[in-house]
Amino acid sequence: MSNQLSNVAAVVGIGHTDWRKDYAAHRAGEAGKLDSIGLASLAFTRALKDAGISRDEVDGLIVGPTTPYERMGEVLGIDARWGGQADAMLAVMQATMAIHAGLAEVVALVYGNNQRTGKTNYGGANAAGGASFLSYVYHAPWGFTSQGALYALMFQRYMEETGLTSTQLGEVAVAQRLAASLNPEAVMQKRITVEDYLASDFVCEPLHLFDYCLVNDGGVALIIMSAERARKLRPDPVMIHGVGRYDLNRGATSLEPRLTEYYLPAQQKVAAQVFDMAGVGPEDISSAQIYDSFSCHIPLALEGYGYCAPGEAGRFMQDGNIKLGGRLPVNTSGGHLSESYMQGWGHQIEAVRQIRGTCGERQVENCRFVHYSSDVAGKAVSIIYGR
The pLDDT assigned to 125 comes to 66
- Decide if pLDDT at 267 tops 90: yes
| 358 vs 353: CA distance, rounded Å | 5
The pLDDT assigned to 1 comes to 44
What is the average per-residue pLDDT within 355-363? 98
Q: Choose the catalytic residue: 158, 262, 291, 307.
A: 291
| 140 vs 103: CA distance, rounded Å | 42
227: Cβ contacts below 8 Å, ≥ 6 apart: 7, 8, 9, 10, 237, 239
Using only C-alpha atoms, the chain has a radius of gyration, in whole angstroms, of 20
The pLDDT assigned to 132 comes to 47
- Counted residue by residue, the chain has a size of 387
* Distances 22 to 26, 246, 337 between C-alpha atoms, Å: 6, 36, 17
DSSP string covering 105-124: SEEEEEEEE-TTTTT--SSS
> Could you tell me if 367 and 261 are in contact, meaning their C-beta atoms sit under 8 angstroms apart?
no
Considering only residues 255 and 324, tell me which one the structure prediction assigns the higher pLDDT: 324
96 closest CA partner among 111, 86, 106, 85: 106
pLDDT bracket for residue 3 (50, 70, 90): confident
pLDDT bracket for residue 135 (50, 70, 90): low
The pLDDT assigned to 129 comes to 54
Pairing of strands 207-208, 202-204: antiparallel
The pLDDT assigned to 2 comes to 64
The pLDDT assigned to 131 comes to 46
Considering only residues 202 and 130, tell me which one the structure prediction assigns the higher pLDDT: 202
The pLDDT assigned to 146 comes to 85
* Distances 146 to 29, 64, 151, 358 between C-alpha atoms, Å: 27, 22, 9, 37
Q: Choose the catalytic residue: 122, 341, 372, 385.
A: 341
* Distances 202 to 57, 63, 166, 258 between C-alpha atoms, Å: 50, 35, 11, 22
Pairing of strands 106-113, 60-63: parallel
211: Cβ contacts below 8 Å, ≥ 6 apart: 169, 172, 173, 203, 294, 295, 296, 337
The pLDDT assigned to 252 comes to 79
Calculate what percentage of the chain has a pLDDT beyond 90: 83
The pLDDT assigned to 119 comes to 87
What is the average per-residue pLDDT within 276-290? 98
> Is the alpha carbon torsion for 248, 161, 312, 193 positive or negative?
positive
pLDDT in tens, 13-69: 999 999 999 999 988 988 888 999 999 999 999 999 999 999 999 999 999 999 999
108: burial class by Cβ within 10 Å (0-12, 13-18, 19+)?
buried
Task: Report DSSP state, residue 293.
Answer: S
What is the average per-residue pLDDT within 152-174? 97
What is the average per-residue pLDDT within 310-314? 97
Catalytic residue flag (residue 341): yes
b or e along 314-328 (b: 16 or more beta carbons within 10 Å of the residue's beta carbon)? Answer: bebbbeebbbbebeb
217 closest CA partner among 89, 318, 117: 117
What is the average per-residue pLDDT within 270-287? 97
How far apart are the two ends of the chain, measured CA to CA in Å? 21
> Is the alpha carbon torsion for 6, 90, 260, 319 positive or negative?
positive
- Decide if pLDDT at 363 tops 70: yes
pLDDT bracket for residue 324 (50, 70, 90): very high
Q: Is 83 helix (H, G, I), strand (E, B) or coil?
A: strand
Q: Which domains does the chain have, with CATH numbers?
A: 9-119+214-386 (3.40.47.10)
